[in-house]
Amino acid sequence: MAAFADLDLRAGSDLKALRGLVETAAHLGYSVVAINHIVDFKEKKQEIEKPVAVSELFTTLPIVQGKSRPIKILTRLTIIVTDPSHCNVLRATSSRVRLYDIVAVFPKTEKLFHVACTHLDVDLVCITVTEKLPFYFKRPPINVAIDRGLGFELVYGPAIRDATMRRYTISNALNLMQICRGKNVILSSAAERPLEIRGPYDVANLGLLFGLSENEAKAAVSTNCRAVFLHGAVARPVPMAGSDCIRCHGESNGEALLCSLT
């Protein structure tokens, strides 16, 4: 079985807090985490920053509970798109975007969801869980996204913090599962504090509430996460920030991934 992964630890300005998130994830048995930098161009003075360097966080990486090896830290960029113009930075494959191991998009309208699934150069499409879906999922764009190897991300953090959010999360997840049949789904924490991270087996159990089968729920915290990173490694096969902790020198992206994330 592939290593357990949480691909959404929220990056903030407080490096001490971020270290705490990574240490907690390692203690809970996650072998791989992604530090997620979120950009919302609807807000003023938003720009794509360089990813957090692993060397800024740790001189020695935490050891994964039950393993004899250190945790792997990936970098992730998530762009919230509320207008078609926000997609331009992804179409242009800007140099800053290419610095990240994983690129995700959070579309806020049906038209933008369709564009994300069918055209954008991303690895992951985020599904809203904090409000009622503003549109219905349709089979054609989701099938195209699956064929392109894109993942669909559901975050569980809001569901464990608030009863209303829990209802939205379960409802939106079930709507997604009716169309995608559990394919290419990943489950992430979206944690800003250590207490918001749950162990991988607990997260897999949450996946059952979201309409995933037992095998699909386990894949959502392991093999599907690996597939998301591999998609990014193939789409943007250049040395990326933070990649010193995941890639093995002298190997191709795919070979390095298989030797590090299994």
> pLDDT by residue (tens digit) across 203-247?
999 999 999 999 999 999 999 999 999 988 887 665 544 444 443
What is the domain range of residue 102?
A: 5-260
User: Using CA atoms, how far apart are residues 78 and 8, in angstroms rounded to an integer?
Assistant: 10
- Which pLDDT value is given to residue 106? 94
Per-residue confidence band for 45, with pLDDT thresholds at 50, 70 and 90: low
- Which pLDDT value is given to residue 173? 93
pTM of the model: 0.86
- Which pLDDT value is given to residue 256? 46
Contact 237, 256 (CB under 8 A): no
**What total number of domains does the chain contain?**
1
> pLDDT by residue (tens digit) across 9-29?
997 768 889 999 999 999 999
Secondary structure (3-state) at 134? coil
User: Using CA atoms, how far apart are residues 45 and 166, in angstroms rounded to an integer?
Assistant: 32
Q: Which two tokens stand for residue 41?
A: 């161009």
User: Using CA atoms, how far apart are residues 43 and 212, in angstroms rounded to an integer?
Assistant: 35
Domain of 144, CATH number, reads 3.20.20.140
> pLDDT by residue (tens digit) across 164-176?
999 999 999 999 9
Q: Which two tokens stand for residue 74?
A: 């990936």
Least confident among 7-16, 67-76, 108-117 = 7-16
N residues, the chain: 262
